[in-house]
């Protein structure tokens, strides 16, 4: 982990940069040249995200659900699911622990900051800050989570319940993925 002075003039996280009253413009290292921006000509802003109900995944008409997933991937490249089986309490705990982590004081969050894209656990604001000329406008906490026992020791310990809630979420999400893959392959 890197050590940072609390008086550093460089803001490593975009969330800290925009949370101050000292910024009145988008810094140049976050602005992509027009020629490098995604082509959004064919994207309709009226298109809705495909929502796939997984209630029937283990019923006789599971093939219909698998077909919907394939079609959504082909047409949109993504989809949203409902009735996935991950308990609402686990999803809620995961959202709250993420919010709690990103609300920690800057000094506490920076304990997990790394600029090495090869690290399995790291807080950063771009994919590879060492080589990118233009940074992405978001902060993220990268956590490898399978097998959990190989990575959990790297995860933050603040907030105190971070590891427990993230492990529960990862276990439930992996079980969900296993069911989808198993069902679609049989």
What is the DSSP code string of 117-144? TT-SEEEESSS-TTT-SS--S--EEEE-
What is residue 3's predicted lDDT score, i.e. its pLDDT? Answer: 38
Q: Is-contact 80 170, C-beta < 8 A?
A: no
> β-strand 80-82 against 121-124: which pairing, if any?
unpaired
Strand pairing partners for 122? 142
| Its pTM surpasses 0.75 | no
What is residue 64's predicted lDDT score, i.e. its pLDDT? Answer: 86
pLDDT digits (tens, 9 = 90+) for 75-125: 888 888 888 889 999 999 999 999 999 999 989 998 998 878 889 999 987
What is residue 2's predicted lDDT score, i.e. its pLDDT? Answer: 41
Per-residue pLDDT of the chain (186 residues; tens, 9 = 90+): 443 333 343 466 777 766 666 667 777 777 778 777 766 555 555 567 889 888 877 777 778 888 888 898 888 888 888 888 899 999 999 999 999 999 999 899 989 988 788 899 999 876 666 667 777 777 889 999 999 999 999 999 999 999 999 999 999 999 988 887 776 666
Owner of token pair 């907030």? 159
Owner of token pair 């008409």? 61
Environment class of residue 4 by beta-carbon count within 10 Å: exposed (0-12), middle (13-18) or buried (19+)?
middle
What is residue 36's predicted lDDT score, i.e. its pLDDT? Answer: 76
């Amino acid at each position: 982990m890197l050590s940072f002075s609390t008086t550093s003039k460089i803001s490593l996280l975009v969330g800290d940069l925009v949370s101050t009253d000292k910024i009145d413009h988008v810094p140049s290292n976050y602005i992509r040249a027009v020629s490098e921006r995604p082509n959004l000509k064919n994207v309709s802003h009226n298109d809705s995200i495909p929502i796939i109900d997984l209630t029937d995944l283990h019923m006789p008409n599971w093939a219909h659900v698998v077909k919907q997933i394939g079609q959504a991937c082909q047409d949109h490249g993504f989809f949203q699911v409902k009735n996935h089986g991950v308990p609402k309490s686990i999803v809620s705990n995961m959202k709250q622990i993420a919010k709690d982590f990103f609300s920690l004081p800057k000094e506490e969050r920076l304990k997990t900051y790394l600029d090495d894209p090869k690290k399995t656990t790291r807080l950063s604001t771009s994919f590879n800050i060492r080589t990118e000329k233009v940074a992405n406008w978001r902060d993220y906490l990268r956590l490898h989570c399978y097998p959990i026992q190989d990575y959990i020791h790297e995860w933050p310990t603040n907030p105190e319940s971070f590891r427990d809630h993230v492990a529960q979420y990862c276990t439930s999400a992996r079980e969900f993925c296993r069911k989808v893959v198993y069902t679609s392959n049989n």
